[in-house]
Amino acid sequence: MPKTTKKDTLDPVDRVIARLYRSALSVSADGFRAWALQQIQSVVPCDGALWGSGVTSYMRFHTVTVTGLPPEFPHVLEATSAINPLLPRILQNLDTPVDMANVLPDEAFFSSEIYARAFRPYGITRILSTGHLDPRSGLYSLVTLYRRDREQAFTEIEKAQHKRLTYHLFNAGSHAFFLHLARTHAERPAGAGAAVVDAAGAYHEATVRFLDLLDERFPQRDPHALPLPVPPPGQTVAVEDLMLRCEPLGDLLLLTIWPAGPLDRLTSREREIVFSIAQGLSFKQAAKKIGVAPSTVANHLYRVYRKLGVYSRTELAALVHPPSDE
């Protein structure tokens, strides 16, 4: 009798879930969704798949990835959303797979307008969808699997597998997205959160920390819109006791938010001088490094002392490099 290994007995769903998180940085950011859909298809076989994200109030995808189907397919779905009986059922049963066969009996489905317009042109006969809504950000995510063989209905086991997989798919996707951002964008201050928004302030991605900070300061905020004005790209602004930094991210914007510390209230030139002095440089050395006169360093430092309420270089250095609690 052949020997059974641990790998042989591992649940295929657990194996895919582990792979989703473990491969967050080894798969490119722009290819993660397509790769992740392929992982799901290795457990729940299908001929095509879709992963879309957006805001429910618009019923339109901000980002969408399809495999096994032509690129225009998501636009066809959006154009027929008003007559698609699957959508309201998904919204009523979030985080639970919804089978079109349980929404419309086959006879009704295959003679329906939605089938004729959205699915028959692509040979689709079986549809299984799971939607997820983050009530704190208003972000809606949808993963749908499609089959062309009418005789291959989705089984109850496959629906249970799909439910487990999509839960981790949404989490792993956000995790991978911000890990890749951390590689290419400015280091976040301690206690910071991040979000990706469009020019109108609608969320495309958001970390838990970002939403926590907003909930603490704006408990009555609209979850579908940023409660702060978006700064111009490349700028950092103070909003009450928060700092908000905006960086361009293609057609979108990356926002980083953190509780304002003493040094955040300084001008960029004042911070430049403070960091130079905190490194142990003299006025003359700091002036040469920055490219200003020593008297300019002295004048700025005098104002900094008054702003921060410190009286010596030692106290200033302690603000820049706070002692460890260990």
DSSP string across 24-85: TTTS-GGGHHHHHHHHHHTTS--SEEEEEEEETTTTEEEEEEEESS-TTHHHHHHHTGGG-T
pLDDT at residue 3 in the model:
55
Which residues in the chain show pLDDT less than 50? 1, 4, 325-326
Exposure class string for 213-229: b at 16+ Cβ within 10 A, else e: bbeebeeeeebeebebe
> What value, to the nearest 5°, has the Cα angle with vertex 177 and ends 222 and 254?
55
Q: The sheet that has 60-67: what strands, in order across it?
A: 60-67, 48-55, 139-147, 126-134, 98-99
Which whole-number Å values give the CA distances from 85 to 51, 75, 105, 278, in the listed order? Answer: 19, 17, 12, 64
What is the enclosing helix (H) or strand (E) of 235? none
Q: Between β-strands 98-99 and 60-67, what pairing exists: parallel, antiparallel or unpaired?
A: unpaired
Q: Which two tokens stand for residue 240?
A: 């009450």
Q: Is 275 exposed, middle or buried (0-12, 13-18, 19+ CB in 10 A)?
A: middle
pLDDT at residue 5 in the model:
53
> Please, what is the average pLDDT of the chain?
87
pLDDT at residue 305 in the model:
81
Is 13 within 8 Å of 164 (Cβ atoms)? yes
pLDDT at residue 326 in the model:
44
Which whole-number Å values give the CA distances from 318 to 263, 276, 313, 315, in the listed order? Answer: 11, 14, 9, 5
| Residue at 62: amino acid letter | H
How many separate helices (H) and strands (E) can be counted in the chain?
Answer: 14, 10
